[in-house]
Amino acid sequence: MGTSSGFSGLIQPSGAPPGYSGAPPGYSGFSSIGGSASGSGTGSPAFANSPQLMHQIAPQSASSRPSTPGYNPLQAQPSLSSAADSAFEDFDFVSNTGTTPKGPTTVVLLNKNGLLIELDVEYPGRDVSSIQAMVYFSNSLNSAMTMLTFRVAVQKSLQLQLNPQSSQVVAPFSKRAVSQPMSIKNPTRQQPLRIRYHVSYAIEGRTIEEQGEFNQFPSI
């Protein structure tokens, strides 16, 4: 099958129909365009020498074409941001990204004879007048620590709140097995902050006591 053309539907008849005697004398195939047929029989198109039609079909010169403003892609377009800014020029914007709250700081209160006491200290509102701490007890020995008692003393200008321990038994090889919340009010903002502590516990029936003073609280 051959390649189809855009004009494949126009088929020229191969022969004249019966009774067809040909074109009449002086007939021009273009005589219907541009006036009456020429009697010269030259077969030239009738509009070939017609100045009227030549004028009609003559292409317009560049100077005679209507001038249409061309589109310039580099032409400045209205700024959307300028319109948005003008819509909010009567408003003052305020932002507050805030600061990331500082987490608790861990300090070691005591690490002796298998007992580790840690304090997770933080300052609510980043103010030295209030201290919150969680006391954790760990046991690195293979024997349990029983009858655990922890006491704290502060200066008279301070206010101490020591909540109950989660347990009096620190299991063997345990990490932070017992916890005890503690808070200190420091209305006079006394620095450095000092506390005294006393801890007692029993291992296999033997009582052990430790005491000391601590002032290594983290700064804000």
- Per-domain boundaries in the chain: 28-56, 105-214
Q: Give the Cα separation of 28 and 26 in Å (integer).
A: 6
CB 180 within 8 A of CB 199: no
Other Cβ atoms closer than 10 A to 112: 11
| C-alpha closest to that of 174 among 131, 142, 152, 135 | 142
DSSP 170: B
Q: Give the Cα separation of 153 and 145 in Å (integer).
A: 23
Q: Give the Cα separation of 75 and 94 in Å (integer).
A: 36
The pLDDT of residue 13 is above 70 = no
Residue of 79 and 21 predicted with greater confidence: 79
The pLDDT of residue 80 is above 90 = no
Q: Give the Cα separation of 107 and 116 in Å (integer).
A: 11
Residue of 8 and 104 predicted with greater confidence: 104
Tell me, what's the pLDDT at 35? 42
**What confidence category does residue 12 fall into, taking pLDDT thresholds of 50, 70 and 90?**
very low
**What confidence category does residue 89 fall into, taking pLDDT thresholds of 50, 70 and 90?**
confident
Tell me, what's the pLDDT at 6? 44
Beta-sheet strands, E only, within the chain: 105-112, 115-122, 130-139, 146-154, 159-162, 174-185, 195-203, 206-214
With tokens 């700064």, the residue in question is: 219
The pLDDT of residue 54 is above 90 = no
Write the DSSP assignment of 31-51 as a string of letters.
Answer: TTSSSSPPTT-----GGGG-H
Tell me, what's the pLDDT at 86? 67
Tell me, what's the pLDDT at 91? 77
| C-alpha closest to that of 190 among 133, 118, 130 | 130
Q: Give the Cα separation of 117 and 151 in Å (integer).
A: 12
Residue of 171 and 97 predicted with greater confidence: 171
Question: What is the average per-residue pLDDT within 183-202?
Answer: 92
Residue 120 burial by Cβ neighbours in a 10 Å radius (0-12, 13-18, 19+): middle
Residue 38 burial by Cβ neighbours in a 10 Å radius (0-12, 13-18, 19+): middle
Tell me, what's the pLDDT at 3? 47
**What confidence category does residue 90 fall into, taking pLDDT thresholds of 50, 70 and 90?**
confident
In tens, the pLDDT along 103-129 reads 899 999 999 999 999 999 999 888 889
| C-alpha closest to that of 58 among 73, 44, 47, 42 | 47
Please state, in angstroms and as integers, the Cα–Cα distance from residue 18 to each residue in 15, 22, 27, 150, following that order.
Answer: 9, 11, 20, 131
Residue of 167 and 36 predicted with greater confidence: 167
In tens, the pLDDT along 21-42 reads 555 555 454 444 444 444 444 4
Give the CATH H-level superfamily of domain 105-214.
Gamma-adaptin ear (GAE) domain (2.60.40.1230)
The pLDDT of residue 70 is above 50 = yes
The pLDDT of residue 218 is above 70 = yes
Residue of 63 and 75 predicted with greater confidence: 75
**What confidence category does residue 10 fall into, taking pLDDT thresholds of 50, 70 and 90?**
very low
